[in-house]
Amino acid sequence: MSNGEPGVLERIKATLPAGQKKPPEDSVELRAWVLAAVLVGEVAVLTSGYFDWMTGILVPLLTVVAFFVSHNRRQEKNFLIKILLAFGALAALAMFFREVLSSLYDTRVPLARLFLWVQVIHAFDLPARKDVSYSLVSGLILLSVGAVLSTSLWYGLFVLAFFFCALGSLTQMNLSEARERAGVTASRSRGLTPGVIAPGFFAVLAVGVLCFSFMPQRQSMNLSMMPTSAFQELQGDFSGSVQNPEYPQSGNPFSQPPQNIAPDSYHGFNPYMDLRSRGRLSDEIVMKVRSEEAVPYRGVVFDEYNGKGWEISTSEEDLETLVSDGPRYDLFSAQNVEPAEGPTRQVAQVFYVEKDASNVIFGAYRPETVYFPAGGIKVDPQASVRAPYKIPEGSTYSVVSQLPNASPDSLRHAGRNYPAGMVEKYTALPPTGLDRTRQLARELTAGTTNPYDAVVKMNNHLRSEYPYDLSIPPQREEMDAVEYFLFEERRGYCEQFASSLAVMARSLGIPARVATGYVPGEYNPFTGLYEVKASSAHAWVEVYFPGYGWSTFDPTPGFDSTPWQYQAAGSVQGGKVFEFVAEKSGKVIGPAFGAVGTLMRGVARLDPVSIIIVGLLVAGTALAGIYSRRYLVRRRRKPAVQRSVRVSDARLYSRYGAVIQALEEVGIVREPGETPEEFARRAAEEVGEPAVARLGEIYLYARFRDAVPAALVGEFDRLEPEALAAVKKLAEASKAQV
Amino acid sequence: MSRKRLKSLGKPVLLIFLCIILYLIAMNSGAGWLYVVSAVVAATVAVSLITPLWNARGIEVVRRAPVVGQAGEPFRCVLEIRNTGRLARHLLEIRDEFAGDTGRAVVTRIRGGATERVEYVLENPWRGVYSGGEITVESGAPFGLFHGRRRMRVASSTMIHPRTFDVATLPEAVSLDAKQGDPSENPTLLRGHGGEFWGIREYRPGDPARLVAWRRSARGLSAGRLAVRELAQETHPPFHLAMNLDARVQREAREMVVSAGTSLLLFALREGREVRVDAGAQKEPFPEQPDPDAVLAWCASLVASRPPDPSGASVEIRPSMPYSRKRPGSSGPREASEAQAVVLVSCREFAGTKSRTGPWMTLEEEQRFVEEERAAGRQAARLGPDVEEPWRIE
């Protein structure tokens, strides 16, 4: 203030209690490690796909600036900065509440955004070590938020990078604390990264894998907060028929020759399913599913068999539209959906769509609550749910379903008292062309007393007598597709197995239908998600039992014969982790081994290129081995001990050198092979002065001992003039003789 | 469990807490990577528990310390730390409890079989004769969550002399008592505190009890009056010092008794006086041919002992503690000195600001003691932690 009065800030500061100021953290290395860890945490969240590019650039950039500012101003009180940061924190909180109120069903993204901005704000005020350590904890929280949002195996790179930086930070913090206790100022520490941090990181990683393997994992979900992607308002009404972008939606496909199968899209996700051709689907991941149980994901139900394939008999008018302001739909409110019967169990599933798909909303039978990010959905009487649009890549939706949970004994005693209309609709078959099939069904079920045992017998017959084969050509004969499979081709794919069982059941008057969807897929213990490939598409049979509803049978060999039967997931994932890692490693290493095999075969054939490559590889390995060994030997070799030369010793050397020079001038020269001691004795005899011999002894003592005692130095001082005088005398005598 | 120990567990407890929280969230959300993060946090704690124990093993330490030092004067020590193991050791913290102080040093890395030299400064060594001290090699490597310790006794001989300060002069009663005497007295033999008999006179307050001439008092004087012997002042009277090294006194006050005593002894020696010291029962007798080095060495070895008899001492240095015997006729609660001069070292001032109360005299009692001593004709001084140099006994 110009008039010397304290300003407002100073006056406020004066009213605040003077707390004990923590010593500022001077270690730049510690701050750099923590900054790296925090940046990894931030990028892990920002790359989850929920944030715009502006946030993606601003947050890391501001964090770097904040760390720089807080290091430079670590000695200051930063009162003004603290006030600004408080306002910033309030703004972030306001933004969080606004976002949460608009998306009450999934608060993960608003929470992640809040954590990001709090991290940035906090990074501006990190004067002391404790503040820096809070920032590290905050980075761990960000990594955890990213772990919740991530569905990718690549997230492991973030986990590895974060823990490498975090362990580096802990090491630097340990060093900084030790230096503070010892009163040593912060300085650069060399060799810590290769010496401590990297080995520590690998040790933690090894123990971490063990911990993770034996860690009980429950695949349950918080049913009050099921995630969905961004909500889209519905514009007008929409068609509820199954829409698949890869297949023609108009015309009668059964009047044409067997169609070609799109490798990335299953032909069973259509209003029709042609049984006359199949083909292999690709191994591309189409969706990832978080599921409480490994049960199939049911999509489309076919109830009308026409001799060439299956159709959905329900017209668009029969579909019921459910409309909502939010993503939640409760299917108990639907009027024309078949009711749930018998004992059930609840299974929740979250679907992360990885590739553009049809408008089929998957779920375990029977969907109870659907969380879908659109203003409306449609449901058919078979409880098959459709979205208002073809579901694009990146979409997320959740389904809570009720699974039939009746025991085999209950089903065995269910009887044949089917509701009105059920038999007509679900036992209808083409009038001709299925004679052999009907005969086979009768033969297989002879002696059975109830529909359940009959279905099980037929199911087992198909599983044991017909091989699963996806490579068979399209149907070559104009006949019933089931008859062709059962009596002509006698091998085939899941749709043929399922159709055969359904048709045989229908022929016996048992209500049956075919459902399509995906099998659970490969469980990834790291992401906790089932990875569903296009090739995981599957078809199975649903059979009706009075009082218990529809139960599932799967006649395809190699698949679970009763997929909805309750199976508790193992809580200890150790075997799964190692199995998963081994499988993935095999896929990576496999090609390498393949290349080695090709080379070896080439050498065996005396193929010159293979021989040259193998020769170069062997020579390179040998050279690398030789040089590595040399390097290690050189590194391990202890340096020669260098005794420090003391000033008094050095003077003795030069003084003794002068005596030697004087001796040489009179012709007394050290002979080759003569030790210094021998030379000194001979010189003493020739000069006639014993002091010369003693000087030699003292010189040797000084030369090869650690230190020269003061008494010997004194003796040298006393004897040196005597020796030099004797040599001089000898020189004069020699001159006189001449 | 001590508070420091509890505080050192803060970081691992925080990490375990985070690990549990993350695990619970993973259980609730089914997020697989969260299980991984939680497992790695748990692994960090597990690795931190084991590695420090190994890291502190196989370490040998040699101390290179100066032979002589002075109390309170910082001196530099060198530690040679040898790694006898094959693998390198990292982040070692060395704590050396030596010469009454604690020195600390940090070694970032020692290769297998190598020796590292680290220096540290002992800021405040205490007086004494030391043959070694305990060295603690501590390591929290790599992450500092837990610490492994190894204690070892490392020998090295160092003598820390007491702190001394400049003395302006010895008390007048010690140096030239006769100046206050009768001018008609024998000029070659002045009245004072020597060994020769001078005469008999009536008791005056402050006269030492050992000089009371009991037989003469009984025979020649009326009841209730005492006669005392007067002694002649020698040309170079011996300096007799009584140092009270009461074990009940705080160490700092006792050190001040030794410092003041050593300073007086060195001054007396410089003046060519014969010196005698009574410091209670000590292991080593006072040197028969004392020189400054011998006096310093002897003073360095002084330990707490029972209070000496100050009768006849030239100077008594005592801490401000109450003693049972009282001066006859004195109203004060404290025993008076029987020396010719007395230095009272204030225990109260050495007690620091936190505990002003204790078994020692209050400020008023200290002042009254000094006044009474002066009133009895003795020179008296009060000594606290701060000594104004050159120091004199008023």
Crossing angle of helices A690-704 and A647-665, in 10° steps, is 140
Q: Which of B14, B31, B109 sits opposite A148 (nearest CB)?
A: B31
State the pLDDT at residue A187: 78
Which domain range does residue B45 map to?
3-54
A701 found inside a domain: yes
Does any CB of chain A come closer than 8 Å to the CB of residue B16? no
Q: Which of B18, B35, B113 sits opposite A528 (nearest CB)?
A: B35
Are B153 and B212 members of one domain?
A: no
Are A153 and A72 members of one domain?
A: yes
**Residues A360-377 pLDDT 10s:** 999 988 899 999 988 889
Asked whether residue B177 carries a pLDDT value surpassing 60, the answer given is: no
Residue B134 backbone phi and psi in degrees, to 5? -85, 130
Mean pLDDT of B322-340: 57
Q: How far is B149 from chain A (nearest CA, A)?
A: 14
Closest Cα in chain A to B17: A137
Beta strands in chain B (DSSP E): 59-64, 68-70, 75-83, 89-98, 101-110, 115-122, 128-139, 148-161, 190-202, 227-233, 239-243, 275-278, 315-319, 341-345, 379-383
> Which residues from chain A sit within 8 angstroms of residue B145, using beta carbons?
170
Do the beta carbons of residue A537 and residue A381 sit within 8 Å?
no
Are B171 and B181 members of one domain?
A: yes
Mean pLDDT of A417-431: 88
**Residues A549-606 pLDDT 10s:** 999 999 999 887 776 665 555 555 556 677 777 777 777 777 777 788 888 888 877 7
Q: Which of B33, B93, B109 sits opposite A178 (nearest CB)?
A: B93
Q: CB within 8 A of B144, min separation 6: which ones? A: A170, A171, A173, A174, A177, A178, B11, B48, B91
Are B356 and B212 members of one domain?
A: yes
Asked whether residue B190 carries a pLDDT value surpassing 70, the answer given is: no
A586 burial via Cβ count (<10 Å: 0-12, 13-18, 19+): exposed
CB contact under 8 A, B109 and A192: yes
Residue A268 backbone phi and psi in degrees, to 5? -80, -10
Asked if residue B142 has a cis previous peptide bond (ω within 30° of 0), the answer is yes
Q: How far is A171 from chain B (nearest CA, A)?
A: 5
A642 found inside a domain: no
The number of C-beta contacts closer than 8 angstroms across A and B is 161
Closest Cα in chain B to A130: B11
Are B169 and B309 members of one domain?
A: yes
Are A407 and A274 members of one domain?
A: yes
Are A608 and A723 members of one domain?
A: no
Q: How many domains does chain A have?
A: 4
Are A274 and A405 members of one domain?
A: yes
> Residue A654 CB: number of other CB atoms within 10 A?
8
Are B302 and B188 members of one domain?
A: yes
Are A134 and A175 members of one domain?
A: yes
Are A656 and A522 members of one domain?
A: no
> Which residues from chain B sit within 8 angstroms of residue A207, using beta carbons?
43, 46-47
**Residues A230-252 pLDDT 10s:** 777 766 667 778 888 777 766 67
Mean pLDDT of A502-519: 94
Q: Give the residue from B54, B69, B95 where a domain finishes.
A: B54
**Average pLDDT value for chain A:** 85
Asked whether residue A307 carries a pLDDT value surpassing 60, the answer given is: yes
Are B223 and B353 members of one domain?
A: yes
State the pLDDT at residue A16: 57
Are A602 and A654 members of one domain?
A: no
Asked whether residue B185 carries a pLDDT value surpassing 50, the answer given is: no
Does any CB of chain A come closer than 8 Å to the CB of residue B54? no
Are B281 and B351 members of one domain?
A: yes
Which domain range does residue A702 map to?
647-737
Are A205 and A225 members of one domain?
A: no
CB contact under 8 A, B18 and A140: yes
Query: Band of the pLDDT at A105, cuts 50, 70, 90?
Result: low
Q: CB within 8 A of A637, min separation 6: which ones? A: none
User: Which of A172-176, A219-223, B66-70 has the lowest average pLDDT?
Assistant: A219-223
User: Which of A232-241, A356-365, B184-193, B363-372 has the lowest average pLDDT?
Assistant: B184-193
What is the pTM assigned to this prediction?
A: 0.72
CB contact under 8 A, B104 and A181: yes
Mean pLDDT of B49-60: 90
Query: Band of the pLDDT at A272, cuts 50, 70, 90?
Result: confident
> Which residues from chain B sit within 8 angstroms of residue A143, using beta carbons?
37
Beta bridge partners of B150: B137
Are B239 and B151 members of one domain?
A: no
Are B138 and B153 members of one domain?
A: yes
State the pLDDT at residue A37: 97
CB contact under 8 A, A147 and B37: yes
State the pLDDT at residue A11: 65
Q: Give the residue from B140, B161, B182 where a domain finishes.
A: B161
* Type of residue found at A472: I
Q: How many domains does chain B have?
A: 3
CB contact under 8 A, B36 and A529: no
Q: Which of A147, A189, A203 sits opposite B31 (nearest CB)?
A: A147
**Residues A134-153 pLDDT 10s:** 999 999 999 999 998 888 88
Q: How far is A224 from chain B (nearest CA, A)?
A: 11
Do the beta carbons of residue A86 and residue A79 sit within 8 Å?
no
Q: Give the residue from B39, B54, B69 where a domain finishes.
A: B54
Are B213 and B189 members of one domain?
A: yes
Give the pair of three-digit tokens for residue B369. Answer: 């003691």
CA–CA distance, A511 with A416 (Å, rounded to integer): 10
CB contact under 8 A, B143 and A171: yes
**Average pLDDT value for chain B:** 83
Can you give the CATH number for the domain in which B78 is found? 2.60.40.10
State the pLDDT at residue B337: 63
Are A153 and A283 members of one domain?
A: no
Does any CB of chain A come closer than 8 Å to the CB of residue B143? yes
CB contact under 8 A, B30 and A184: no
State the pLDDT at residue B187: 40
Are B194 and B231 members of one domain?
A: yes
Does any CB of chain A come closer than 8 Å to the CB of residue B53? no
A397 found inside a domain: yes
Are A206 and A227 members of one domain?
A: no
CB contact under 8 A, A212 and B90: no
Residue A512 backbone phi and psi in degrees, to 5? -150, 155
Does any CB of chain A come closer than 8 Å to the CB of residue B18? yes
Are A653 and A623 members of one domain?
A: no
User: Which of A415-419, A711-715, B286-290 has the lowest average pLDDT?
Assistant: A711-715
Give the pair of three-digit tokens for residue B187. Answer: 């000029």
Are A100 and A176 members of one domain?
A: yes
Are B129 and B267 members of one domain?
A: no
CB contact under 8 A, B18 and A137: yes
